[in-house]
Amino acid sequence: METKNLTQEVIRISGANPKKCMKCGKCTATCPAFDQMDIHPHQFVDMVINGRLEELLNSRGIYNCLSCFACMERCPRSVEPARLIEAVRMAVVRQKENNHLKPDAIPALLDDELPQQAITSALRKYMK
């Protein structure tokens, strides 16, 4: 998916409207996970608007977002940045290759105390 309609796709999944952002920085101010994130919420929204999707897709920061929704609660323009981050995560999941956890690598990592559910959720969450 070249970036033009990938950006539309992300905005459509998120249901948020990034263009409403007036770059006040309140989301970044209230973000408790500020230090762990390489791309901060206000930059995130700006990058979605400008279609800089590759950096977002490869950024590690999107997994450190706690989804505490403080940014959504306090954004004066109701831009809902958390939804955008969630949408980018979905876009990453929907991409085809470069998975971390390959299915055939799983038997080696198994041990019998591991509950069944852990395996399936690992596949689902950390495949990427």
Partner 1 sequence: MQRIGVFVCWCGSNIAATVDVEAVANALAMEPGVVISTNYQYMCSQAGQEMIQNAIREHKLTGIVVCSCSPRMHEATFRKTAQQAGLNPYMVEIANIREQCSWVHKDKLTGTEKAIILGRAAIAKVHLNAPLTAGQSPVTKRALVIGGGIAGIQTALDIADAGFEVDIVEKKPTIGGKMSQIDKTFPTLDCAACILTPKMVDVAQNEKIKIYSYSEVEAVKGFVGNFHVTIRKKARYVDETKCTGCGLCTEKCPQKKVPNEFNLGLDTRRAIYIPFAQAIPKVATIDADYCSMLKSGKCGVCSKVCTAGAIDYKQTDQLIEQEYGAIVVATGFNPISMDKFDEFAYSKSPDVVTSLEYERLMNAAGPTGGTLLRPSDKTHPHTIVFVQCVGSRCDSSEKGKSYCSKICCMYTAKHAMLTREKYPDTEVYVFYIDVRTPGKNFDEFYRRAVEDYDVHYVKGMVGKVTPENGKLKVQASDLLGGRQMHIDADMVVLAAAIEPDKSARPLATMLTASMDTNDFFTEAHPKLRPVESPTAGIFLSGACQGPKDIPETVAQAGAAASKVIGLLAKDNLTCNPCVAKSDEMMCNGCSACEKVCPYGAITYMDKEFRGPNRTTLIRRVASVNPAVCQGCGACTVACPSGAMDLQGFSNSQIMAEVDAICK
In this structure, what DSSP letter does residue 39 have? S
Stretch that binds partner 1, among 3-11, 76-84, 94-102, 115-123 (CB under 8 A): 76-84
Binders of partner 1 among 25-44, rule CB under 8 A? 25-26, 28-31, 34-35, 40, 42
Contact call for residue 64 and partner 1 (CB under 8 A)? no
Contact call for residue 77 and partner 1 (CB under 8 A)? yes
Q: Which of 70, 84, 87, 88 binds partner 1 (CB under 8 A)?
A: 70
Residues 99, 106 contacting (CB under 8 angstroms): no
Q: Tell me the C-alpha distance between 123 and 41, whole Å.
A: 27
Residues 29, 81 contacting (CB under 8 angstroms): no
Q: Is the sign of the CA dihedral 96, 97, 98, 102 positive or negative?
A: positive
End-to-end CA, the chain: 17
Binders of partner 1 among 99-128, rule CB under 8 A? none
Question: What is the binding site for partner 1 (CB under 8 A)?
Answer: 20, 22-26, 28-31, 34-35, 40, 42, 70, 74, 76-78
